[in-house]
Structure 1
Amino acid sequence: MAIHYARAGEGEDGFIAEINTTPLVDVMLVLLIIFLITVPVVHSSIAVSLPREPNAAVDPQRESIIVTVDAQGGTWWFDTRLPDRESLQALLVRAAALQPQPELHIRADARAEYDPVGAVVLAAQQAGIARVGFLTEPPAR
């Protein structure tokens, strides 16, 4: 049982010297379909007219209130220790009535409990202070 190879000119056609482009066309059509599907998704957006506002610098004359909570839970208004939470509430109500309203910056010791810090935030919310921030120190490099 040997394999018989046809010799040149024994009835078999010779080698075809043309390039078979069918696989190339198939691949190109698949790529074309993929691009036609994905391009509209990437570039679709809803046309809206956005308002135009100039960038305003932060008012450098706006006062900031600094309330500090120390590690023992004591509350300080700038450099003055407050005896109780009612005095903090009264000071914050007075500050909330100012125009423009000052920002409240809370400096809390890393070892402070959550309760005193939460009490300051709650007092600011009840007084109507609109902007509350926390002061931190940048991490060591």
Structure 2
Amino acid sequence: MAITPFSDDEDDGLMGEINMTPLVDVMLVLLIVFMVTIPALRHAVKIELPHASSQKEDAKAAQVNVSIEANGTVLWDGQPVTPSALRAKIAAAAHENPLPELHLGADRKVAYEAVAQVMSAAYAGGLTKIGFVTEPKP
């Protein structure tokens, strides 16, 4: 007589029931966690905080206007300066508090190299806030 691992006597049908025990366990744990944490969230210490009236300080940063003319002349607030004088003025402006903004305007015919040199001198001197001045289209 031959023995087969699968017998036809057993019912191989799928189980049609859902095991509710793990679901009830998880829900019970969540219920306990929420019951413990909700009172802690609503608990607050009542303290009387001090009141102070102060106004915001409007220390507007100064601005320095640097222009480059078409022939390459650099102007510091409208006055022509040499490259060494420009570096000295930038270093002096970098020690001011608050740090001034450098407004850089250049003629449209100026080579980019001249603009890049002024920007490099400003950054090396300590002026990191640089703005470019342009004219709006008519």
What do you get for the CA RMSD once the two structures are aligned?
Answer: 1.8
CA distance in 2 between counterparts of 1:61 and 1:103 reads: 10
CA distance in 2 between counterparts of 1:74 and 1:115 reads: 13
User: SS where residue 136 of structure 1 aligns?
Assistant: coil
Counterpart residue number, 2:120: 122
5+ residue gaps, structure 1: 1-56
Work out whether 1:71 is the aligned partner of 2:47. no
Identity %: 33
5+ residue gaps, structure 2: 1-55
Choose the corresponding residue for 1:88, options 86, 97, 121.
86
Choose the corresponding residue for 1:113, options 99, 111, 114.
111
AA partner of residue 105 (structure 1) = H
User: SS where residue 65 of structure 1 aligns?
Assistant: strand
AA partner of residue 61 (structure 1) = K
Runs of 4+ that moved beyond 4 A: none
Counterpart residue number, 2:100: 102
Q: Post-superposition shift, 1:60?
A: 6.6
Counterpart residue number, 1:62: 61
Query: Would you say how many aligned residue pairs link Structure 1 and Structure 2?
Result: 83
AA partner of residue 77 (structure 2) = F
AA partner of residue 62 (structure 1) = A
Q: Taking structure 2 as the reference length, what is the TM-score of the superposition?
A: 0.56
Asked if the contact 2:103/2:131 (under 8 Å) is kept, the reply is yes
AA partner of residue 133 (structure 1) = G
